[in-house]
A and B are shown apart, each in its own frame.
Chain A
Amino acid sequence: MISCKEATNYISQKEEGRLSLRKRWQLWQHLAVCTFCKLFYHQNKTLMKNIPHLHEHEEAALSSRQKESLIAALEKNI
């Protein structure tokens, strides 16, 4: 039986389609009996599915002071 550390490594490789058939089988055997790794598997999957889209919620903006200093830097370089 593979260890939890190996199992989580396999999960990362599986996510990128880089896990051999034999290792996938070993991973399923581990997940069948390990609650922690099963939780990790599902939580990680949900997070990694959603995280790539979340930065579209970024609302940060430059302060007016930062904008002024940007404008000044540009005008200096005309």
Chain B
Amino acid sequence: MVQLDAAKWVNEYGDMLYRYALPRVNDSETAKDLVQETFLAAWRNYDNFKGEISEKNWLFTILKNKIIDHFRKASTRLTDNLPGIADDDPYFDEKDHWTTASAPRNWNVDTESLIHQKEFYEVLSKCKGKLKEIQNTVFTMKYLDGLESDDICKELNITASNYWVLIHRAKLQLRACLEKNWFLK
């Protein structure tokens, strides 16, 4: 039996795992719980750890699976009210033109350099936090983890048309939120 040192693990890998989970689930309590579940699963299965990959990569593999499980659960919980999403549309009027309030405005700034300021990331996190959980899930799988839409649909058990509504609405909302709270602030 290997002697495991809990404090060493938590101090060495805790923040790293937390930082990976947080932008994906957008909730610090959930991120912390996922890290805890990861450590516990690794702890219980340490005998199966063959050392073929590093301890760090092994922990990340477990965490990634935990995050996908979390997404799947969130999806079953949240796709129940999917049909309602398409109706509530603040961006376009009855003729499908932009409403005055939400028409994109010219930012008149050097967008790229503003994006690379540290504070932008904080605003982005807040804006992502305002997305519905299922929208954030789809957005994260697509843009943070680079999955193809077909695979996202399969993982979350949603239809392609659900996917397009969710990802598109997430992008409309993020752009609007960033315009208001960053680019034109």
A: which residues have CB within 8 A of B? 3-6, 8-9, 12-13, 16, 18, 36-37, 39-40, 43-44, 46-48, 50-52, 54-55, 57-62, 66-67, 70-71, 73-75, 77-78
Contacts and interface: CB of A to CB of B under 8 A. Distances in A.
Contact of B175 (A43, A52, A55, A59): A43
Given A40-B175, A61-B15, A70-B14, A54 B120 contact: yes
Contacts of A77: 40, 43-44
Contact of A58 (B32, B104, B115, B121): B121
B47 interface: no
B6 A74 contact: yes
Interface residues of B, number: 53
Interface string B88-106: 0101100111100001111
Interface of A: prevailing SS:
helix
A50 B112 contact: yes
Contacts of B118: 57
A47 B175 contact: yes
Nearest to B31: A60
A9 B18 CA distance: 34
A52 B144 contact: yes
A28 to B, nearest CB: 18
26 contacts: A3-B96, A12-B164, A12-B171, A13-B164, A16-B149, A36-B104, A37-B104, A40-B104, A40-B175, A46-B111, A47-B175, A51-B124, A52-B143, A54-B124, A57-B121, A58-B19, A61-B19, A62-B32, A66-B32, A70-B14, A70-B39, A74-B4, A74-B39, A74-B43, A77-B43, A78-B43
